[in-house]
Structure 1
Amino acid sequence: MASAQLALQSVEFAHPGMTTPLFSELTVQFPSAWTGIVGPNGAGKTTLLKVVTGELEAQGGSVHRQGLALYVAQRTDDAPEFFEDFIWAPDATVLKARLRVSEDWPERWSTLSHGERKRAQIAVALWREPAVLALDEPSNHIDADARRLLVQALKDFTGIGLLVSHDRALLDELCMHCLLIDPPDAVLRPGGVTEAMEQQENEETSARNANDALRRTENRLQAEAQRRRVIADQKAAASRGSKQKKIPAHDHDGRAMRNLAKVSGKDAYAGKMVAQMNKRAGKVATERAEIAVKKRYETGIWVDGASYMPRDFLLRLPAGSLPLGGGRQLHFPDLAIGGTDRIALTGANGLGKSTLINHLLGRLQLAAEKLVTVPQEISADDSRALLEQIKRLPNDELGRVMITISRLGSRPSRLLESALPSPGEVRKLLLAIGIVRGPHLIVMDEPTNHMDLPGIVCLEDALAECPCAMLLVSHDEAFLEEITHIDWHLTREVSGDTRLEIIA
């Protein structure tokens, strides 16, 4: 492997149409081993990976890299470059076996599951032995067994690795550092994501506490200055009254003159104290201005308007089979979705989960506007079209959608300025549109894929309390356990076919 070097100096970048840059004066030197890139959807994580690997050019500053730099995208639309070369390369045998990549995959790319496609992307990238490897959501779509194989393969990588992921366990297991992005700032912190975010939270808490203490001090000084100002005004009025009094002709010892001098002296002293209080309050205000306190946005959504379907069933489907390609079949028993059912569809990659979902969607007894569907992947063209559709919504509906987006942890203004929303933002948009229309059924294929960590927590809370039926496809067992109570589990039979078992 070539010698690895990667450093950014005063880098600035903004997409066309943005009023503020994603990065400004970003300076960081990445060490060997894995560094997590962490931040909310739309913060520029993918953009950063493309800038450091040369797919995008920085608009300011410089990027110093040495050796081959590769970016592995989130999307799995197209087969990776050099896939055919990899398949037949003698030195790729170990990687093909390790990540279970079959030799016929290039010919049947369109029939592969997204999990299989993701393994192929990463296998080809590792085979090319880059000095810098930037992975964008590598554990998306991958089942537990494949994830274990992936982690071991990535642990053996010896170059500079950059990892964008919503998978907290993966970030903690692989990463020695994390770059926490909150535009226009980015801070490199030691440790996995848990340690890095705890350190950030502690620093932000300390900053808020210090800011609150200084604010209270500033308020007390301002109140004291006001009190002394009132006293000074009263003394000044008394002084003016004294000056207007005539000095009696028989007052030869000048007693009245001495009294007048005393009043004038107190007036000057009171004014001086007011100035001192204002000066001290100004110093405290200056100290406060030097403390960086991050703005906190309200998060957490309630699926407003959602309701149970008045009928008993949204779907009744008699037992049957579906073709999966390669002569394989998916066999299922009688299936039904009731108005209050929360169903998890589980199973390893390649068993036909997405195929079954697509089959069910065409047979629902439900008005289209009462259905929320979020597919496993959305193409770049469809993502652009969705954002343009959102921008054309009536103002009141657009406002409700953007409030939901905000409460899922993304900044609406930055999203509306973008030409191509990130995959995580697209999922939030699809969910938000459905939520504001009051769904009876929510169907999500890999709901946590591409979502940032705050968004996943908000989504889990919202779905757990949502008064409608749900069908969720996911490898995230903890997520499903919080939300669902029925498991439709797919297993592979000896013949190679898939069979669905219902576990209530």
Structure 2
Amino acid sequence: MIVVREVTLRRGVKVVLEQASVVLQPGEKVGLVGRNGAGKSSLFSLLAGRLSSDAGEVEIPPRWLVGEVAQSMPETDQPATDFVLEGDARLMAAQAALAAAEAADDGEAIGLAHQQLQDAAGFDARPRAQALLLGLGFRVDQLDDPVNAFSGGWRMRLQLARALMCPADLLLLDEPTNHLDLDALVWLEAWLKRYDGTLIVISHDREFLDAVTGVTLHLDEARLTRYTGNYTAFEEMRAERLAQAQANYAKQQERIAHLQRFIDRFKAKATKAKQAQSRVKALARMERLGPVLTSADFQFEFREPQSLPNPMLAFSGLACGYPPADAADGPTVIVRNVNRSVLAGQRIGILGANGQGKSTLVKTIARALAPVAGTLTEGKGLVIGYFAQQELDVLSLDDGPLMHLVRLARDVGPPGREQELRDFLGSFRFVGDMVNQPVGTLSGGEKARLVLAMLVWQRPNLLLLDEPTNHLDLSTREALSIALNEFEGSVLLVSHDRALLREVCDEFWLVTAGGVQPFDGDLDDYQRWLLEVSRALARRQVPPPPPRPAVGEPAPAAAPAAAAAARVEPTAQARPDRADRGGDRRQSAQARQALASRTRPLRHEVQRIDQRMEALAVERREIEARLATAGVPGAEIAELGRRLNHLQAELAVLEERWLELHGEIDAITAAG
């Protein structure tokens, strides 16, 4: 087990841990949560042995192998599979021992080295390494590409695969989902659920933590508190604990006030002096409770757009890609023949595996790439706010937040005076001298808040968000979700944060096979479809097509889209109060989530019935084919006939239940 006993840890003048104690049992999967800058990564360094505590002790079994994701960007021309294989320290040691034994021509040593290789599962190590790479989104033709041929995000995936390759007893993962798309995230969840070692993971993805962890460690104000349960359970228990602590504090304050009134009233009265003195001593002995103080949650809102063109965008035969590297070559087309539109008020989540073209589509809409073919028509007065995956990388590291906003107001608009810009930055927690602090010294979360501030300042009516939650802590993600639900314009969102997608998006587009199509379902349906595709590929079968609306039926969320279409350029007098609109949108999102929760068990049962009916239909066809065969013995015919009767009876019951379930789903949907 891991024992942290009365540990105090300082980083410079900051106290990261103060007399922290916790015990973790072998095999527990632990989520380490806390605000950005609380010291979670420092605690990881302490557990990994890179830091020493100022007081107290950390006990980890000495024979445990610790695996973690290296944060450095690898620079090597080594093939990707070989790079991942090196993560298995035991395998590398066995291979080195075998090479040394063979060089010394030592037969006994060679035999021992082969035993080490077998113990390290060396004979299937390469396929295991390649399975990790494929699961994390690499293509088959990339498995032996040199590491330095990949971009930064893909190299971090290689570091993650290398850490997963390690047969670790303790696995430390610091924000492993930051560079993953939704497909790879679903795969990683499944892998970690099967992992039988002790796992400690830092993540700001609520659904990822809920799916993987069973223990939550909360690091707050240098205190480390253990909660049994996943992140949702932690939130509930912490809220109860805070409420109880606040109640106890209030009761104690009442008791103190009562004692003090008695003392003040009777301390000078001879007959009551002894009683007053006893109450003075009681006050002195009392262990004072502190008030419950929590850091204020971060909040912001998008400013009201100047106009709401409808439609915002229209695509006709649009092809997206990259210009040719050579004049003799043609352009590289990633997505083609896109025929869709974006209406005012729509909230669209863009799904698809990595490399299918989600970011290419968004970049084309954002004017960062020119269309390869077709037309992209913008509505009059369109103002695009674009949050790119690499936005943090293009910030000027030597300039402060104020200088960034001054340039934005001057070059893009709207213009603003310096004091107005300072006040605006203050609402994003850039206060005092921090507005001039070089961006290069800011944390990842602070840089992301700066990018959000720059986005809000532009007063957009169309938001293009490509993985906006990387580096954001949970409270800032929740603030983003609330702000997006109150935003009056349209949203196109690419994200691996399923909680954000569920809370914000009314409908989904799927980028796959070089095209864009509506996805008829929610995120649970999408994850099931991904699982079906992976199973089909594993069996070398044709993958199933994604669910789509039936011909003649509207796409999901057609009603909200139609409502948005009717809302063309409302006048100032016709516009309802902003707070009312934000509240309506939050209520609408909550209603959608409640409706999905109520119908999800019914839809799951429908899916199970469909699968059972399909299996029974296959068996029935086989029985009928056997009965049609000449020369079948009479005893077998009788048995087949009885089985056929049972099948038909079960099918009848299942069909009746199938109809009942659809009736219940329709009734709930209509009532909702």
The TM-score, its normalising length taken from structure 2, stands at 0.56
For the Cα contact (< 8 Å) 2:4–2:20, is it kept in 1?
Answer: no
Change (3 A) 1:153 1:83: same
In the TM superposition, 1:69-148 aligns within 5 A as: 69-72=66-69, 83-86=80-83, 91-97=125-131, 99-100=133-134, 101=138, 102=140, 104-105=142-143, 106-107=145-146, 114=153, 119-148=157-186
| Deviates most, 56-65 or 450-459 | 56-65
Correspondence list, 1:46-445, <5 A: 46-54=41-49, 56-58=50-52, 60-61=54-55, 66=62, 67-72=64-69, 83-86=80-83, 91-97=125-131, 99-100=133-134, 101=138, 102=140, 104-105=142-143, 106-107=145-146, 114=153, 119-228=157-266, 267-269=269-271, 275=277, 278-283=280-285, 286-288=286-288, 291=289, 293-299=291-297, 301-303=299-301, 305-309=303-307, 311-312=309-310, 315=313, 318-323=316-321, 329-334=334-339, 336-362=341-367, 371-377=384-390, 385=397, 388-390=400-402, 397-405=421-429, 420-435=441-456, 438-445=459-466
Bigger shift: 430-439 or 457-466?
430-439
Whole-angstrom CA distance in 2 between matches of 1:361 and 1:226: 71
* Larger relative helix fraction: 2
Which amino acid in the other structure matches residue 124 of structure 1? Answer: R
2:7 aligned residue: 10
Whether the 8 Å CA contact 1:308–1:339 is kept in 2: the answer is no
Letter of the 1:443 counterpart: L
Question: Partner of 2:171: helix, strand, or coil?
Answer: strand
Following TM superposition, by how much is the alpha carbon of 1:39 offset from its aligned partner in structure 2, in angstroms?
Answer: 1.1
Whose RCO is larger (CA < 8 A, sep 6+)? 1
* 1:24 match: 18
**Matched residues in 2 for 1:292 and 1:419: separation?**
38
SS of the counterpart of 1:91?
helix
SS at match of 2:14: coil
The residue type paired with residue 51 of structure 2 is E
Distance 2:78 2:217 in 1: 28
Return the letter of the residue paired with 1:501.
Q
Letter in 2 for 1:403: S
Structure 1 partner of 2:474: 453
Distance in 1 (alpha carbons) for counterparts of 2:51 and 2:399: 25
Q: Aligned in 2, Cα 1:397/1:491: closer, same or farther, shift over 3 Å?
A: same
What whole-Å deviation, never above 9, does each CA across 1:385-436 have from its counterpart, x for those lacking one? 2883358875664454343449xxx9x99x9799744434432332134335
The equivalent position to 2:35 in structure 1, one of 30, 34, 40, is 40
Given the superposition, is the C-alpha separation of residues 390 and 223 from structure 1 closer, same or farther in structure 2, using an over 3 Å criterion? farther
Counterpart of 1:49, as a letter, is F
SS in 2 for 1:320: strand
Distance 1:49 1:397, change over 3 A: farther
Mapped to 1, the partners of 2:403 and 2:14 lie a distance apart of: 20
Structure 2 residue ranges without an equivalent (≥5): 87-123, 325-330, 369-376, 406-417, 519-554, 559-672
Conservation of the 8 A alpha-carbon contact between 1:5 and 1:160:
no
For residues 56-110 of structure 1, the C-alpha deviation after alignment (integer angstroms, 9 at most, x for no partner) is 5346246565454343267989789984524678613124225514352544876
Q: 2:509 aligns to what?
A: 488
The 1:299–1:6 alpha-carbon spacing in structure 2 relative to 1, beyond 3 Å, is closer
Cα deviation, residue 44, structure 1: 2.1
Contact 1:72 1:122 in 2 (8 A): yes
Q: State the shift of 1:26 in Å.
A: 3.8
Distance 2:223 2:230 in 1: 19
- Mapped to 2, the partners of 1:383 and 1:9 lie a distance apart of 41
Distance in 2, Cα, partners of 1:377 & 1:331: 24
Query: In angstroms, what is the RMSD of aligned CA positions?
Result: 4.4
| Larger strand fraction of residues | 1
Partners of 2:306 and 2:459 within 8 A in 1: no
Contact 1:38 1:164 survives alignment (8 Å)? yes
> What does residue 484 of structure 2 align with?
463
- Once the two structures are superposed, what CA deviation does each residue of 1:167-197 show, in whole Å capped at 9, x if it has no partner? 3343334334322111311123333333344
CA contact (8 A) 2:170 2:197 kept: yes
Q: What is the Cα deviation at residue 213 of structure 1? A: 0.7
CA contact (8 A) 2:400 2:439 kept: no
Q: Show the counterpart of 1:499.
A: 515
C-alpha change, 1:423 and 1:392, in structure 2 (3 Å) is closer
Would the aligned equivalents of 1:474 and 1:480 in 2 still touch at CA under 8 Å?
yes
Structure 1: how far apart are the matches of 2:398 and 2:174? 22
Cα 1:25–1:200 shift into 2, 3 Å: same
- CA–CA distance in 1 between the matches of 2:47 and 2:421? 38
Query: 1:330 deviation in Å?
Result: 1.2
Report the AA paired with residue 38 of structure 1: V
Instruction: Give, in whole Å, the separation in 2 of the partners of 1:226 and 1:282.
Output: 15
Deviates more, 1:370-379 or 1:29-38: 370-379
Q: 1:287 to 1:348 in 2, by over 3 A?
A: same
Gapped regions of structure 1 (runs ≥ 5) = 233-266, 493-497
For the residues of structure 2 that align with 1:475 and 1:79, how far apart are their CA atoms? 29
- The 3-state SS of whatever aligns with 1:181 is strand
The answer on whether the counterparts of 1:344 and 1:473 sit within 8 Å (CA) in structure 2 is yes
